[in-house]
Amino acid sequence: MDSHKKLDFKELVQNPLFIQWVNEGQHSQYWDDYIRHFPLEEETVFEAKNFLQSFQLAPQTPPNVKSKIWDEIDAEISVDNTKKYLGFFVGIVFICALIFGFFYFQPQVTHVASVNDSLQEERWIEYTNDASDNWAIDLPDGSQVVLEPEAYLKYPIVFDQKSRKVQLTGNAFFDIAHDTLKPFYVYANEAVIRVLGTSFFVEAEEDDKDIKVIVKTGKVAVYKGKEVKEYQAKIIDKIEPLIVTPNQVATLSKKNLKLNKRLISRPTLTRPLDALEKIHFKNKSIHEIAQALSDAYSVEIIIAEDISTNCRLTTTLTDQPLFEKLKIICDPLGLKFKEKNLKIFITGFCN
């Protein structure tokens, strides 16, 4: 095949080399070169790959059924608007697969069910972690969810072309694959969490008073579920969210649906302290040390204006928690620190 020949969606999904690349990982270099040569076709390649992976949901589907699927495709769409009907293709594949009973699940899947009234009507997979250990679940987009015991997760077999949506009850850690074109939504009881690509922890127990979202990397937007009228980004974009960044926890009270955020009790490093080359501070001002800690923990630390840059210290910081580090640098200088409104303030008179 000519390496410089541009292929449309249908030509890709019927191309033997493309099928081998999707199914077996062969010819990777060829298709990497193809995308570099036709950068504007990367989305078409992605959608064709996604379609073939969905087609594999029924790997033993008889040839006459596969033929019927392509007949349906030819009857419904033209090459020019193939991408527009990608969801339709996947739907045809899935329906035909169900008819012939060749769809298999992992053991921990509870069942595939139609979504409830608050979600779009499509096919979803449901997990309930009945084990005593955490479960790691790989989602169709490359994201991973770690479910704690008794947690419940629901997600579609194939994410749609505009967004990625899952439903959670219980506690789980999310590590989301970055995709600026398809924001990721977690619907956790009364809270809705929107993210493009980051990692965060959600506590959404049914009996608890509060729903908590703790961000590890990146940032997320948290909404009150009652304000989201439809599960569509264009509706959510009209609502002012609460933005949560690393070492912050957002809390939604189930009692009064009040949404707020604060620093977590034990902030963790968002950047290695040694990367700043300032583990050992020799005759450094409190301002320099505070800035290094601020950078390492992504937490704003404010020094009172009346504290001079001549307020200096020699010390070594290792793996102590942030607030213990602050005590180590403040106590010898006669300074105090306190947390307020997501910031840390250092005040006092320097010795």
Range 90-104 average pLDDT = 44
When divided into structural domains, the chain yields a total of 3
Residues 216 and 252 occupy one common structural domain: yes
Closest by CA position to 157, among listed 116, 126, 196, 181: 126
Residue 85 and residue 36 share a domain: yes
pLDDT band at residue 14 under the 50/70/90 scheme: confident
Residue 25 above 80 pLDDT?
A: no
Domain that holds residue 341: 273-348
Are residues 121 and 91 part of one domain? no
Across the range 95-99, mean pLDDT stands at 44
Q: Percentage of the chain surpassing pLDDT 70? A: 73
Residue 15 lies in a domain: yes
Residue 1 in domain: no
From residue 193, give the alpha-carbon distance in Å to each of 170, 225, 314.
14, 9, 43
* Statement to judge: residues 224 and 203 lie in one domain: yes
How far, in Å, CA of 253 to CA of 251, rounded? 6
The winner for highest mean pLDDT among 118-127, 198-207, 332-341 is 332-341
The CATH number of whichever domain residue 311 belongs to comes to 3.55.50.30
Q: For residue 264, which of 246, 252, 290 has the smallest C-alpha distance?
A: 246
Residue 117, pLDDT above cutoff 50: no
Same domain for 329 and 210: no
Last residue of a domain, one of 54, 79, 100: 100
pLDDT digit string, tens, across residues 267-320: 888 876 665 545 788 999 999 999 989 988 889 999 999 999 899 999 988 878
Lowest pLDDT segment from 85-94, 181-190, 271-280: 85-94
Read off the CATH number of the domain in which 243 is found: 2.60.120.1440
Instruction: Assess if residue 3 is contained within a domain.
Output: no
Do residues 240 and 286 share a domain? no
Last residue of a domain, one of 263, 285, 311: 263
Q: Are residues 335 and 277 in the same domain?
A: yes
Q: Is residue 268 one of the residues assigned to a domain?
A: no
Q: What's this model's pTM, rounded to 2 decimal places? A: 0.59
pLDDT at 320: 83
164 CB-contact burial (10 Å; exposed 0-12 / middle 13-18 / buried 19+): buried
Rounded to an integer, what distance in angstroms lies between the CA atom of residue 226 and that of residue 210?
15
Q: Which of 263, 285, 319 is the last residue of a domain?
A: 263
Both 182 and 245 in one domain: the answer is yes
Instruction: Decide if 244 is inside a domain.
Output: yes
Q: Are residues 181 and 231 in the same domain?
A: yes
- The pLDDT value recorded for residue 270 is 84
Residue 150 pLDDT > 80, yes or no? yes
141/211 same-domain check = yes
Examine the domain organization and report whether 214 and 238 are in the same domain.
yes
> Is residue 67 assigned to a domain?
yes
Is residue 50 in some structural domain? yes
Could you give the 3-state DSSP secondary structure of residue 45?
Answer: helix
- Kindly state whether residue 4 falls inside one of the protein's structural domains: no
Q: Do 206 and 283 reside in the same domain of the chain?
A: no
User: How far apart, in whole angstroms, are the C-alpha atoms of residue 144 and residue 83?
Assistant: 27
